[in-house]
Chain A
């Protein structure tokens, strides 16, 4: 989780990712940032994030992103 928080703050500095639960719905992460983030996650965790995983629910909080990564790593 810590590694993920680090990546998140690199991709989008100045956001409290531990508490924020509406990263997508409130517009904190825009489409370009999400595309950037997906590329980083694919690289760092060596996972394949297919279009099926690219839904707002998977990106609204650090927890949701983390859960997605764990699911894809299995």
Chain B
């Protein structure tokens, strides 16, 4: 099996002058991206390290993608660090992966000193002056295998010791195989990229693009506040495929954006990362009836995705969207509390197996052993599967339905409750733009936090008509806007911290 950069090299050969990655200000062609990555690799190879971590501490730019590829060419794996991340959190991540080098630019290099990092700091200026060394890259390549780590991805927003998932070349290659085939990605595809490079969703659009000669147009974050500019940018870049978090899609729907401006080239709208409310999805479908819409589902630990649903029928506002069927080459089991496979309609935990399943957590054998486990349905030979912590069930059509996180399922007044069900009911109300439910185990109270025009009293009355008494929130909190984390998703950890005493 090949490693990822073998595929990238082929794209460089076929499309040297085509834009690979661009943003608002400039772009890099395949040849330029490759050349910059090879210079980066030369600088790193001289450090003499293999299969070790190098951090990429840069904003989301074409040069950042080059730095990531450069680390991969050097036979090491990269860790992308959010440029807005507090120094203390960076230090915690560095404690786990112990990077031998950090690639950054001169603006950010100063902040790096606050993290007590004492390894090699490689700035963009130094890389530009480095000579590429193809012979050195070939020697490194000869020693690499597809099971080598390609990157380590830390999940955001968590507290305590950060957990970094090690994703291999084989993971990325088999995963993008599926994505490219399923969504027909080729050199005519232009992705409008929303998610940061330190978030698993960006692996999908970046690496599917680089394997096929497609273009990745990075959308500047600020455009989500200036939606007319967002549409202008998408039209100028001729973006035809987007893969965004639902919160980003909801921004457009909630302000009725398409009455004022519309992306002209869109053919595919894909989303993942959180639940897509059907009310806002219906708005998009109404304006783009000929587009393909798909709900993708999975954790960082299966590279990005393990199941998907291409929207093929209509859904009422508030009716949950299926997460669909397993991706090719992905084995999904739904396992009940009794350790046996669940019958249709019965809820159980989702286990994922197959080549998308990551190697484990870096430098963390305890957490790895908890989540990457022997397939409970197979006692005959060793087979590692990932225990997702997601509760799902099959519907009568054989599609998987997401019920909630295992740690999100609560016991309240003797009933087992999925907080997601309350959210679905609330989100379906016309005056609700977005919402999140949290549960305070200490006081045994359910709190619903929402954004919208409806008053707390009205919403409570509407909920009374849709959910049983025992599922009614003890408190409703109306916010001007919901907080979002740096990936663009609703920041549940923050909400939980803010309302934990209520």
Determine the main DSSP class of A at the interface with B.
Answer: helix
Are B260's CB and A31's CB within 8 A? no
Chain A positions 5 through 34: 1 when the CB is less than 8 Å from some CB of chain B, otherwise 0: 000000000000000000010000011101
Are A39's CB and B451's CB within 8 A? yes
Are A54's CB and B484's CB within 8 A? no
Are B257's CB and A31's CB within 8 A? no
Are B480's CB and A51's CB within 8 A? no
Instruction: Give the complex CA separation of A23 and B364 in angstroms.
Output: 43
Nearest neighbor of B223 in chain A, beta-carbon distance? A31
A24 proximity list for chain B (CB < 8 A): 222
With A24-B222, A39-B451 known as contacts, the answer to whether A51 contacts B227 (CB < 8 A) is yes
Are A52's CB and B260's CB within 8 A? yes
Are A40's CB and B223's CB within 8 A? no
Pick from A32, A34, A36, A51: contact of B261, CB under 8 Å: A51
Count of interface residues, chain A, beta-carbon cutoff 8 Å: 17
Those of A48-74 within 8 Å (CB) of chain B: 50-52, 54-56
Those of B253-296 within 8 Å (CB) of chain A: 255-257, 260-261
A52 proximity list for chain B (CB < 8 A): 228, 260
CB-defined A-B contacts under 8 Å, sample of 8:
A31-B221, A31-B222, A32-B481, A35-B251, A38-B225, A39-B481, A51-B260, A56-B229
B326 → A minimal CB distance (Å): 35
Are A39's CB and B480's CB within 8 A? yes
Question: Looking at A24, A31, A39, A40, which has the most chain B CB atoms within 10 Å of its CB?
Answer: A31
A32 proximity list for chain B (CB < 8 A): 225, 481, 483-484
The yes or no answer to B15 lying at the interface (CB within 8 A) is no
Instruction: Give the complex CA separation of A55 and B229 in angstroms.
Output: 8
Instruction: Give the complex CA separation of A40 and B223 in angstroms.
Output: 19
A3 proximity list for chain B (CB < 8 A): none
A20 → B minimal CB distance (Å): 16
With A36-B480, A39-B451 known as contacts, the answer to whether A51 contacts B255 (CB < 8 A) is yes
Nearest neighbor of B433 in chain A, beta-carbon distance? A39
Nearest neighbor of A31 in chain B, beta-carbon distance? B225
The yes or no answer to B224 lying at the interface (CB within 8 A) is yes
Nearest neighbor of B491 in chain A, beta-carbon distance? A32
Q: Told that A31-B221, A55-B229 touch, could you supply 15 new A-B pairs with CB distance under 8 A? A: A31-B222, A32-B225, A32-B483, A32-B484, A34-B222, A34-B226, A35-B225, A36-B481, A38-B225, A43-B480, A51-B255, A54-B227, A55-B226, A56-B222, A56-B226
Count of interface residues, chain B, beta-carbon cutoff 8 Å: 20
Interface residues of B (CB under 8 A from A): 221-229, 251, 255-257, 260-261, 451, 480-481, 483-484
Nearest neighbor of A54 in chain B, beta-carbon distance? B226
With A35-B251, A43-B480 known as contacts, the answer to whether A30 contacts B228 (CB < 8 A) is no
Instruction: Give the complex CA separation of A34 and B481 in angstroms.
Output: 10
Instruction: Give the complex CA separation of A59 and B261 in angstroms.
Output: 20
With A35-B481, A39-B480, A39-B481 known as contacts, the answer to whether A54 contacts B225 (CB < 8 A) is yes
Pick from B228, B255, B257, B484: contact of A55, CB under 8 Å: B228
B362 → A minimal CB distance (Å): 30
Instruction: Give the complex CA separation of A20 and B141 in angstroms.
Output: 52
Nearest neighbor of A39 in chain B, beta-carbon distance? B480
A31 proximity list for chain B (CB < 8 A): 221-226
B260 proximity list for chain A (CB < 8 A): 50-52
B323 → A minimal CB distance (Å): 27
Instruction: Give the complex CA separation of A36 and B223 in angstroms.
Output: 14
B251 proximity list for chain A (CB < 8 A): 35
B225 proximity list for chain A (CB < 8 A): 30-32, 34-35, 38, 54
Nearest neighbor of B220 in chain A, beta-carbon distance? A31
Instruction: Give the complex CA separation of A40 and B478 in angstroms.
Output: 12
Are B222's CB and A30's CB within 8 A? yes
Question: Looking at A34, A36, A38, which has the most chain B CB atoms within 10 Å of its CB?
Answer: A36
A54 proximity list for chain B (CB < 8 A): 225-228, 255
Instruction: Give the complex CA separation of A53 and B57 in angstroms.
Output: 35
Nearest neighbor of B255 in chain A, beta-carbon distance? A51
Instruction: Give the complex CA separation of A62 and B112 in angstroms.
Output: 34
B401 → A minimal CB distance (Å): 31
Instruction: Give the complex CA separation of A16 and B27 in angstroms.
Output: 36
Nearest neighbor of B222 in chain A, beta-carbon distance? A31
B229 proximity list for chain A (CB < 8 A): 55-56
The 9 A-B residue pairs whose C-beta atoms are closest, nearest first, are A34-B225, A31-B225, A39-B480, A36-B481, A51-B260, A39-B481, A31-B224, A51-B227, A31-B222
B480 proximity list for chain A (CB < 8 A): 36, 39-40, 43
Instruction: Give the complex CA separation of A56 and B480 in angstroms.
Output: 21
A61 → B minimal CB distance (Å): 16
With A35-B481, A39-B451, A39-B481 known as contacts, the answer to whether A51 contacts B228 (CB < 8 A) is yes
Are B257's CB and A51's CB within 8 A? yes
Question: Looking at B221, B222, B223, B229, which has the most chain A CB atoms within 10 Å of its CB?
Answer: B222
Instruction: Give the complex CA separation of A44 and B126 in angstroms.
Output: 51
